[in-house]
Structure 1
Amino acid sequence: MSDFAENCKTIGLPWPHLNDGLTYRDVVSPSDTDVTLIKFYSSKHENSAPLQGWLQRIQNGQISVDGGVVTDPNAIIRAGSELVYHRLPWKEPDAPYLLEVLYEDDDLITINKPSGLQVLPGGLFQQRTVLTQLQWRTSKQGSSIARQEPHPVPVHRLGRGTSGILLCAKTKSAKIRLASYFADGTSVVGDNRKAELGTMRKISKIYRALVIGILDEDEVFIRQPIGMMRYPGVAKGLYVASPSGKPALSKVNVLQRDVQKNHTLVQVEIQSGRPHQIRIHLSFVGHPLLGDPLYVTGGQPKCIDSEILDGSFAQDGGYQRPTNPVPGDCGYHLHAHQLVLNHPTKNEVIKITAPLPSVLRTQEEAK
């Protein structure tokens, strides 16, 4: 096994003040023919903006029909027409941009993602993401960096507030192979004959986390399924502990207990890779991550009754940010510490380690 740790190489370019905006395309279906432009957008994309917000966008000249700008909200649209909504550039919230490279070859690159940086575009973060930095770097290097056409992309996700190892492919073939490793691990969780952590897997991930309360047992297996619920401000729904959800398995080992502060430092190995799995599982067993603004005991959100603000809308016509916590909020302590995988093209197993934040080190490691 080849072992790789921090090598002090960093990549990343500063973010521009404004991003490039976004373009959304729709083709009118026969069932939507002869409806007005405002009815189409306010009904088809009501999660993006309220009615008044879509009126603002149309009157601003941000909507085109078959290549021509239309500012009349009552204009009739026809089947087959292409509608384009141009979202104006905006200043995204602050986010880190420098990335430590932990390991790199022609097929893959692993980085030490800082807390506060989103992996893929979503919500307010469309440019300030890991994906953007990888694409910028590849465009500067040219296509000679790999045997194939470059295709830089993360093959799994870490929450915006989670730090540590993020595995990224550099070619399409590497992405397919690496993505299959994650899919294989998740697929066996529901099979008790196969769902033994550390057994016959091509990839394993170990995390560090700091949780509220004192875990009595030194080792805990959590098999709580994870599903979705409707939640204000999260258009696709929020992942939570749910009996009807998909199988998920986490193995938790206690590293250090701090009775005085009522905290426990734990190591978590996950077989499956459900979104927010560690945050949900630890909160489900009564030990939410210290500083987690969203999940509380039971694996449920802290706030479930909040509504989007009063129908008012933001400068771009979209909804105001909800007052309740959302998954991308930071503050919790979770770090992807170690990754072991079968290399997608080389006949070897590699182990990658990301240095620990001070708050997640044991007393011995801190010396």
Structure 2
Amino acid sequence: METPPLYSFGIPWPELNGGLDYSDLVRSADSGKTLIGFYSSRYPNSAPLRGWLRRIRSGQVTVDGEAATDPDAVLELGCRVVYRRIPWREPDAPWTLQVLYEDEHMVAINKPSGLQVLPGGLFQQRTVLSQLQWRAWRPQPPAPVHRLGRGTSGVLLCAKTRSAKTRLSSYFARGTLGAGEEGRGIRKFYRALVVGLVVEDEIVVDQPIGMVHYPGVANGLYVASPDGKPASSDVRVLERDAEAERTLVEVEIHSGRPHQIRIHMAFVGHPLFGDPLYGVGGCPEFSEESVSIDDGFAEDGGYEKPMRPVPGDCGYHLHAHRLVLCHPSTNETVEITAPLPAILQTRTELDH
């Protein structure tokens, strides 16, 4: 039985965010470098050389609080350099959040697809974290204790107290132990729509997940890799649609690797329906040789958004449907479910 929302909240996004300051203290390894040498070598993934020149000459960089417009200015040990990113209009994102469960220790929200949980990349303000901070919670706003991909919807757990955050975070860090086991643990169930007809009614996927270089993703891309970290998913078929050649599945994950369900379903030959990134085998569908390197830059001097797919792109159908956990204070078992999007409901569920 699904948990009906208790209430909804949210504030429409301002047209522009407040910009962002990136501050660095010059250490011995960078002492004596020029300003342009410092930024172009330390942050090459933020902007090309010409972009950093433009940022410096336009007055967006300060040294010890003073504007520094000379790219060839030499930096001294211990000085503070700050790059001020000018305010920008972030891509469209939902702003209304539904509360599914709340007490004095934690709150669970139904995160909509298309909304990022924490700041990163183009999304610095249009995040779940901002909406939590803008609402008048006392004595402090709740903090998310795990993440869901931007395109993933469903139950997102947030802690209201330091002790709750510590305990809830440990559940996700340790993986699933089973709610109630030693008074600790969490079980995580997702719904997903995948390409093709899954033959087996149940599948266990134990493919490790590692990281590879991927153009446009500064820290690398998570993929199916024999040298990766252990990851385990239990897949159960809920309904097959022979006409559309797709299958509705429930997935319980026993680990929390980034993009785990997207990678695991693709690895077994059934990528998520509409996933722009992961193809059969659990790796991105692109050839390194086919990617042209473009050093063009956007209005603020940074790179344009990559034309090829990146992990934050939406289009797939994945929903964190149900959490069963040991309450961080009372040790009671709590079950929280998020209403399912119509496309992730079985025919029987739709009829009811």
* TM-score normalised over the length of structure 1: 0.92
Q: Which amino acid aligns with 2:277?
A: L
**Structure 1 pair 172–254 and aligned structure 2 pair: CA distance change class (3 A):** same
Tell me which of 309, 313, 321 is aligned to 2:305: 321
Aligned to 1:277: 260
1:23 aligns to 2:6 (yes or no): no
CA distance in 1, matches of 2:108, 2:292: 38
Aligned to 1:56: 54
CA distance in 1, matches of 2:161, 2:292: 41
3-state DSSP of counterpart to 1:173: helix
**Structure 1 pair 141–153 and aligned structure 2 pair: CA distance change class (3 A):** closer
3-state DSSP of counterpart to 1:41: helix
The CA deviation at 1:4 is 7.1
Q: Unmatched 5+ residue regions in structure 2?
A: none
Contact 1:228 1:239 in 2 (8 A): yes
The CA deviation at 1:198 is 7.4
Provide, for residues 289-333 of structure 1, a one-character-per-residue CA deviation record: whole Å limited to 9, x for no partner: 000000000000012425475211000100111111001111111
CA distance in 2, matches of 1:121, 1:57: 22
User: Counterparts in 2 of 1:1-367, with a 5 A limit?
Assistant: 5-137=3-135, 140-143=136-139, 150-185=140-175, 200=181, 202-305=185-288, 307=291, 310-367=294-351
The CA deviation at 1:8 is 4.5
CA distance in 2, matches of 1:94, 1:155: 24
Contact 1:309 1:322 in 2 (8 A): no
CA distance in 2, matches of 1:5, 1:106: 18
Contact 1:308 1:322 in 2 (8 A): no
**Structure 1 pair 342–199 and aligned structure 2 pair: CA distance change class (3 A):** closer
Percent of aligned positions that are identical: 62
3-state DSSP of counterpart to 2:29: helix
Q: Unmatched 5+ residue regions in structure 1?
A: 144-149, 189-196
**Structure 1 pair 177–4 and aligned structure 2 pair: CA distance change class (3 A):** farther
The CA deviation at 1:180 is 0.5
The CA deviation at 1:347 is 3.1
CA distance in 2, matches of 1:307, 1:313: 17
- Report how many residues are paired: 348
CA distance in 2, matches of 1:152, 1:307: 42
RMSD: 1.5
**Structure 1 pair 117–109 and aligned structure 2 pair: CA distance change class (3 A):** same
3-state DSSP of counterpart to 1:83: strand
Contact 1:4 1:350 in 2 (8 A): no
3-state DSSP of counterpart to 2:175: helix
